[in-house]
Amino acid sequence: MKKKKRKSIGIVFGFIVVAAAIAGSNIYNYYFNTDNQSQAETETFLQVIDNKNISTDESGVSHIRDVDALYEDDGMDVVTMYLTVRQGNEIEGTNHTWEEVNSHSAYYYDELGIPRYKVEALLQVGTEEGIPAGNLGFGRTAPNATVQIRGQSSSKNVQKNYKIKLKENQGNWNGQTTIDLNKHQTDGLRFRNKLGFDILKNVEQLMSLRTQFVHLYVNDLTDGSDDGFEDYGLYTQVEQLNKTALRAHGLDRYGQLYKVNFFEFFRYEDAIKLETDPGYDVSKFEQYLEIKGDSDHTKLIDMLDDLNDYSISIDEVLDKHFDRENLAYWLAFNILTGNVDTQSRNCYLYSPKNENVWYFISWDLDGAFRIKENEILTRTDYGSWEKGVSNYWGNVLFNRCLKSDSFREELDRAILDLKENVITPNRISEMITDYRAVVEQYLWNAPDITYEQLTPKQYDEVALELPNQIEENYEHYLASLEKPLPFYVGEPVIEDGKLLMNWDTAYDFQQDEITYKAVLSRNNDGTDVVATYEGVWTKISCDVPEPGEYFLSVRAYDEKGNSQECFDYYEEAEVGKTFGVLCFYINEDGTIDRYTVVE
């Protein structure tokens, strides 16, 4: 990262120590600061939380509830963090430079199968004037943390996200020892993630996470010089959901907690195994679900076995394994906010120990409310079947849920409740005004202005239009219930001199008769046509065309003229996604290679 602004603060790694006490403390900080209370007092507080975060509905069903006291100081104030980084040692894996840490994406490490590079760091938290007495890092000279990049696709950006992990017995910040700082370079507004979690604080049926705007300064000592602090601009800190966070939110820290990574709730018997199974491979397991809690996977496997057993009704599965209210509201929240990248990731699965029920907890909400910004920047990463319930149709859990009349009724009630009482245009407009007052102080200055994709005029246009997207997303939801559902195209094959192509049957909530239109073309816009088909069959054949690249588009139609594209899509770097198209290659030897989308 090019250096933009230096900040010098004196004698402790460049700091003047500002001796000022912090006035006031919320209830959480009091009980989780080990200097303030005994173990007995802490346990008493935890019991109070445990007794208050359970609610019983009219049917006598109990549900977990969040702890409101956690958010007392979760406002618009900007916290200033000073990070002094230096090379550490090989044992901790911190023997790297800051340049090395910032030079690679997550895919580099995945390809090599190595841990992400880290450096040692001294983290100090204060204000623009310095570090008040009593704050984390006050008076410190030795490193108290390690730092590495965080995120997956976002790690490709120039401006990196960081995970700062405080070392054991080195204190905490707001009760947290792992601090995630998110830059959100591809979010033109730079506040969508905070907006999402702040909305969730008012959704009784869902858990939120604490967030904070952070102004970050970094002093890089790994380059052999001490040039003072460089301004890294504005970040959003989001509480990492781990055992510490579970405890803070009044949940069971000894329960099961998984971060969902491209997991569509198939059984995946080759990877999802008990820890005692001789074939258990944690790296294979965590390709789907990162283990953040108890590693006894018995309950998870029992749920997946029942879910993937179609002889068991989905209502029976839901009643046994899930909190239906939580599931309906989680889906409703993401549909209304247009947070489409949640079909199979960007959430957590949590279950208390000794209970069967599973809860969804949200994670990474910067994909919400993107319609206008995508339009201005000509992005195509939100379209076609990604709108409404069809976005979740490829996931076994949601596919089965949505086929249940009773669950669709629950989902509809949840969407209307959120739309009418929580995610209202007026409330969202007020929140946006507050965020802009903070964000734009930093966004139009270095370093953030260098990587901002919107002009000030476009920024204003996107921010002002955002509240209207609630109704737009609601209309997409209603439309998705009327259309056929998306489906997958099978593998093309060559047999007896014919090219054979097929696709799955499209499902329709109204049980209308479905017809299909298929076009085989030499280009992705379907203009250089090789063969076409219209009818009720789900397969076609034609003479084998000459070797080369081909595109098969398939669309389903119901009796009323509503239509839906297949799940498959083709993606080009400069153009984006072309939905409803399968791309494949016919080779000289008659074999066929299917195009696959690579992250």
Return d(Cα 269, Cα 301) in angstroms, integer: 9
Name the nearest CA neighbour of 531 among 523, 541, 520, 540: 520
Residues 14/124, Cβ–Cβ less than 8 Å: no
> Which residues in 273-367 belong to E strands, given as ranges?
289-291, 347-351, 359-362
Residues 392/346, Cβ–Cβ less than 8 Å: no
pLDDT of the residue at 61: 80
> For the chain, how many residues are written?
599
pLDDT of the residue at 153: 87
Running along the chain, 599 residues long, what does each successive block of 10 average in pLDDT?
44 32 36 42 45 68 88 85 96 95 95 95 96 95 97 93 96 94 96 97 96 97 95 97 92 95 96 97 96 97 98 98 98 97 96 95 95 88 88 98 98 98 98 97 98 97 98 98 98 95 98 97 91 96 96 97 95 80 95 79
Residues 146/178, Cβ–Cβ less than 8 Å: no
pLDDT of the residue at 596: 77
Return d(Cα 467, Cα 423) in angstroms, integer: 9
Return d(Cα 152, Cα 105) in angstroms, integer: 7
Q: List beta partners, residue 322.
A: 358
Residues 175/246, Cβ–Cβ less than 8 Å: no
Q: State how beta strands 256-260 and 347-351 pair.
A: antiparallel
Greatest Cα pair distance in the chain: 85
pLDDT of the residue at 30: 39
pLDDT of the residue at 493: 96
Name the nearest CA neighbour of 370 among 567, 188, 161: 188
Residue 18 corresponds to which tokens in the numbers above? Answer: 């500002």
Q: State how beta strands 78-86 and 211-220 pair.
A: parallel
Residue 473 corresponds to which tokens in the numbers above? Answer: 């997303």
Q: Which residue has the tokens 């208050």?
A: 52
pLDDT of the residue at 55: 76
Q: List beta partners, residue 121.
A: 85, 145
Residues 453/443, Cβ–Cβ less than 8 Å: no
The domains found in the chain, sorted by start residue, are: 6-182+208-245 (no CATH), 251-481 (1.10.1070), 484-594 (2.60.40.10)
Residues 336/418, Cβ–Cβ less than 8 Å: yes
pLDDT of the residue at 301: 98
Q: Say which residues have a Cβ less than 8 Å from residue 442's Cβ, sequence separation at least 6.
A: 215, 233, 234, 448
pTM attached to this predicted model: 0.90
